[in-house]
Amino acid sequence: GAVVSQHPSWVICKSGTSVKIECRSLDFQATTMFWYRQFPKQSLMLMATSNEGSKATYEQGVEKDKFLINHASLTLSTLTVTSAHPEDSSFYICSARPFSAKTFHEQYFGPGTRLTVT
């Protein structure tokens, strides 16, 4: 159990276009989902916290108008990178906290999405 999927697993887009990444909890309901970004040889950086039915909470330095997050249901959160530029090329990873989590800090990571902007 506790499987999180992401789609697509990799995507190449042209500069100036928008890209949508989906994060789904497959066998549980997730009250909270987190979006991270990881540049090569660097650690995961939290971008935003997404709660179902409410606006996402963005970390300092993350542009909310550029990285649009929608958490419309208990099993789906989407991250849209708008007007993508080469510097947005990164590995984007989501994680999900189950509604029925036994521990307060339980979360499960998706496999990640590799974004390359040309």
Partner 1 sequence: QKEVEQNSGPLSVPEGAIASLNCTYSDRGSQSFFWYRQYSGKSPELIMSIYSNGDKEDGRFTAQLNKASQYVSLLIRDSQPSDSATYLCAVNIVGTGGFKTIFGAGTRLFVKA
Instruction: Kindly list the residues in this chain that would bind partner 1 in the complex (CB under 8 A).
Output: 32, 34, 42-46, 49, 51, 57, 91, 93, 95, 104-105, 107, 109-112, 114
CB atoms within 10 A of CB 95: 19
| Whether 84 contacts 52, CB under 8 Å | no
Smallest distance from partner 1 to CB 40, Å: 10
Task: Give, for 50, the enclosing helix (H) or strand (E).
Answer: strand 45-51
- Pick between residue 44 and residue 76 the one whose CB is nearest to partner 1: 44
Smallest distance from partner 1 to CB 37, Å: 11
Smallest distance from partner 1 to CB 26, Å: 15
- Pick between residue 14 and residue 102 the one whose CB is nearest to partner 1: 102
Among positive and negative, which fits the CA dihedral 42, 45, 47, 51?
Answer: positive
Beta bridge partners of 39: none
What is the Cα–Cα distance from 19 to 46, expressed in whole angstroms? 19
- Pick between residue 98 and residue 112 the one whose CB is nearest to partner 1: 112
